[in-house]
Structure 1
């Protein structure tokens, strides 16, 4: 059982499309679209959002993502009227990128707060202030205490596109570690995609914190397996 997601948009097509996209990367996560008004117009509907929250019951919490301002107000009203308002979290995140990051984090088993944080972290562009760690030989992993580094070559044909970036960011967001990849925040799908790293590119990974070694092994395992792609 995983955290469930609700998407509130002024457009039914946008909500449905965002859910369809995210489902490609998180097929086991329940995602419910609540877009447009009840009569098919552009706008939001409290009734549709309440119905979506009802459908989302039974998971390990609900995270709601919205598009424009009045969608936020509608979601807040629905949260207040929900059977268990504390189980409904509203994420302040861009709709599409945030939904994908949240879905991947939920797929990885993150709790509701971590799923919300994964969505909101797509606003981040780096890891300023990160603790420095020692450089190691290419292809190796080493460390003492909480700090680990590693270098891994992208072998999948498409490199660091949306699906691999979502897998990396989603998994890291559920760990107690700070990770940078080629200098950007490893828990930010958007930041990873801005690297423009194609096949053959080297990813230099730095991690620190209690889960640093696990985080480094997670990233390295994904890269060395080609993210399950050709």
Structure 2
């Protein structure tokens, strides 16, 4: 399964390229495309660049579009009107903070989240956004108590890894009572090194989801 692509639409070519550079450091291998500035190199947005960017970013699993200002959203929406139904169904314009949203979305895509999961990760990275309520778990549940070993604990990158990948499972998951598929909810826990995570899951993929969380926590999210 190829990762969901991201298109960064900005009024500034350098700003779009900079956001792509930052996101790429967190999620190598995710299709990241910059569509910044006008066709003649000025400040503004370009219909043609956005159209070409959507095509370039889509490797089969769809594209999440992030924008800097309202007129960039308008340009992206105009492009969607010219796509056929099949193409349009594979594009989401996220209502997200550009940098934070791009980083969260890129990590979620890298972790294997689908189109909706990646868009959700971007939107929940907006400062002050409320995470959704934790899902109700139905029996039988899988559960484990895990101890964080990585130096920075459950910060943005591990939270996005967990939320992004868990979104791809057919399961409901809570971590210390919050939605395990929500980047913002996991970050809000403020769980540091040495603290315990109570993970509970229910649904057809509960065992696989719990095994993934255990694997990531015990490996320190690759940060040791």
Category of TM-score, reference length = shorter chain = 0.7 to 0.9
SS of residue in 1 equivalent to 2:193:
coil
Give the structure-1-normalised TM-score: 0.81
- For the structure 1 residues 41 and 183, does the alpha-carbon distance in structure 2 shift closer, same or farther, using more than 3 Å as the test? farther
Summarize the alignment of residues 1-230 of structure 1 with structure 2, pairs less than 5 Å apart. 1-82=2-83, 84-122=87-125, 123-128=129-134, 130-131=135-136, 145=140, 147-230=141-224
Structure 1: stretches of 5+ with no match in the other structure = 134-143
Counterpart CA distance in 2 for 1:131 and 1:86 is 29
Number of residue pairs the alignment of both structures matches: 218
Give the structure-2-normalised TM-score: 0.83
Q: CA RMSD in A?
A: 2.4
Following TM superposition, by how much is the alpha carbon of 1:201 offset from its aligned partner in structure 2, in angstroms?
A: 1.2
SS of residue in 1 equivalent to 2:7:
strand
- For the structure 1 residues 61 and 39, does the alpha-carbon distance in structure 2 shift closer, same or farther, using more than 3 Å as the test? same
Following TM superposition, by how much is the alpha carbon of 1:171 offset from its aligned partner in structure 2, in angstroms?
A: 0.8
Following TM superposition, by how much is the alpha carbon of 1:72 offset from its aligned partner in structure 2, in angstroms?
A: 1.2
Counterpart CA distance in 2 for 1:168 and 1:110 is 10
Does the CA-based 8 Å contact 1:25-1:166 persist in structure 2? no
Counterpart CA distance in 2 for 1:106 and 1:32 is 14
Does the CA-based 8 Å contact 1:65-1:99 persist in structure 2? yes
- For the structure 1 residues 167 and 109, does the alpha-carbon distance in structure 2 shift closer, same or farther, using more than 3 Å as the test? closer
Following TM superposition, by how much is the alpha carbon of 1:132 offset from its aligned partner in structure 2, in angstroms?
A: 5.3
CA deviation profile, 1:22-61 (whole Å, cap 9, x unmatched): 2223211111011233344443222221221232244332
